[in-house]
Amino acid sequence: MSDSLKSPNGKPTVPTINQQTLPKFLDSVGLENTVSRKQTKLRIFSGSANPSLSRTCIQYGVFCIYLAYELAEHGKIPEIKHLLLRRGLDLGVKEIAQYMGLELGKINIKRFADGEIYVQLQESVRGCDVYLVQPTCPPANENLMELLVMIDACRRASAKTITAVIPYFGYARADRKTQGRESIAAKLVANLITEAGAHRVLACDLHSGQSMGYFDIPVDHVHCQPVILDYLASKRIDSNDLVVVSPDVGGVARARTFAKKLSDAPLAIVDKRRHGHNVAEVMNLIGDVKGKVAVVVDDMIDTAGTISKGAALLHQEGAREVYACCTHAVLSPPAIERLSGGLFQEVIVTNTIPLKEKNYFPQLTVLSVANLLGETIWRVHDDCSVSSIFL
């Protein structure tokens, strides 16, 4: 039997790193290949997260992690500096820093009266490895432009390498032409990031794998499914009662991978036809969900039209409970009304996109991917395997 969501005082469950130990999938895979944290000497700089900073810095500031990296026996080696944009704070920037043994530094970023972005690094990054953490979530254009200007500032400040850590990659859905005379915006954004001066990209759960090929620089694809799988395992749902559901035909591969890691659970597919952007019509169900706990898996929830209509169909077909799982909670209106309307036992998402307080509802559970990103950054910097994290 599944364990229902516990929501004290009607508030959603929002696990944080402080409440958790190292995730199971990070506890046993190849950590011996990374540089020992005990051998590392750190110098820490605090950033604009401090309440004493000006309103301008708090609103538009960029959070930086500065790590002066030096091994006692081998002398000084190139520094690694992590510059973390403000909109990444809700992602768990402090949690990433905590996992990596770092605190936050600072940088100055502000808006001119006409809305143009101004950036000035407050510390030298000459010869350093720089990591910029910035989801290009709504407002997508503004966040993307901030990332590009930050990359340019680091390049002109003589950073050794620049890595764009993009928890949510906006425009990823525009990865192909479905009709004539359309743009492939995902390729355009990849070109912009590359031309701005980035040397590498870390991205979480891209909408489609081919997006990695749009970049002419290395791309590390960070899979967040293990975080959700660990959480579902803690709920102790009987494997005989479980069925994994893909909300559309395009997500079958993702759902099949998810099902294999849930004791090779059976798979069901919601067949639908789309008549316009953000509008989906559910047609029929392929598979058996009668009397079972249905776990609907997708990479993102935007307006929740697809997943809510799929959930309604699952209930019609006799599903006992319906859970929704996704990495990216875009939650454009009217998503909250649809998700909180009683169709779902629980809606499980990660914090790759900062959630506004008004978007919380009792069925919502937010899982942190901070440890996962922190470990990935360490492995990239130490030239260790990233894929072994997800095996």
Q: What pLDDT, in 10s, does the model give residues 219-240?
A: 999 999 999 999 999 988 888 9
Does one domain contain both 49 and 194? yes
User: Rounded to 5 degrees, what angle do the CA atoms 109, 111, 117 make?
Assistant: 70
> Structural domain tally of the chain?
2
pLDDT > 70 fraction of the chain, expressed in percent and rounded: 72
Domain of 44 in residue numbering reads as: 34-223+371-386
Does one domain contain both 262 and 379? no
Per-residue pLDDT band at 9 (split at 50, 70, 90)? very low
CA 210/CA 224 separation, integer angstroms: 18
Does one domain contain both 241 and 357? yes
CATH number for the domain harbouring residue 52: 3.40.50.2020
Does one domain contain both 45 and 188? yes
Does one domain contain both 40 and 165? yes
**DSSP character at residue 13:** B
Does one domain contain both 56 and 191? yes
Paired residues of 273 in beta bridges: 281
Does one domain contain both 135 and 253? no
> Higher pLDDT residue, 78 or 335?
335
**Region 312-324 average pLDDT:** 97
Per-residue pLDDT band at 175 (split at 50, 70, 90)? confident
| Entry pTM | 0.79
The answer to whether residue 28 is domain-embedded is: no
pLDDT digits (tens, 9 = 90+) for 43-59: 222 222 222 222 222 22
2 has pLDDT over 80: no
Does one domain contain both 160 and 118? yes
The answer to whether residue 391 is domain-embedded is: no
Identify the top-confidence range among 10-24, 38-52, 195-209: 195-209
Per-residue pLDDT band at 274 (split at 50, 70, 90)? low
The answer to whether residue 165 is domain-embedded is: yes
The answer to whether residue 8 is domain-embedded is: no
The answer to whether residue 16 is domain-embedded is: no
Identify the top-confidence range among 141-145, 156-160, 199-203, 211-215: 199-203
The answer to whether residue 11 is domain-embedded is: no
The answer to whether residue 160 is domain-embedded is: yes
* Strand duo 117-121 + 200-204: pairing: unpaired
- Write the single-letter amino acid at 248: D
Does one domain contain both 117 and 159? yes
pLDDT value of residue 49: 23
User: Cα–Cα distances in Å, from 365 out to 13, 15, 229, 267?
Assistant: 5, 8, 13, 23
Per-residue pLDDT band at 87 (split at 50, 70, 90)? very low
- What does residue 295 show for φ and ψ, rounded to 5 degrees? -110, 110
182 has pLDDT over 90: yes
Does one domain contain both 136 and 59? yes
The answer to whether residue 20 is domain-embedded is: no
Does one domain contain both 353 and 258? yes
Helix (H, G, I), strand (E, B) or coil at 130: strand
- Strand ranges, E, within the chain: 40-41, 62-67, 70-71, 75-76, 80-85, 105-111, 117-121, 129-133, 161-166, 200-204, 219-222, 242-246, 267-276, 279-286, 293-301, 321-329, 346-350, 364-367
Does one domain contain both 303 and 168? no
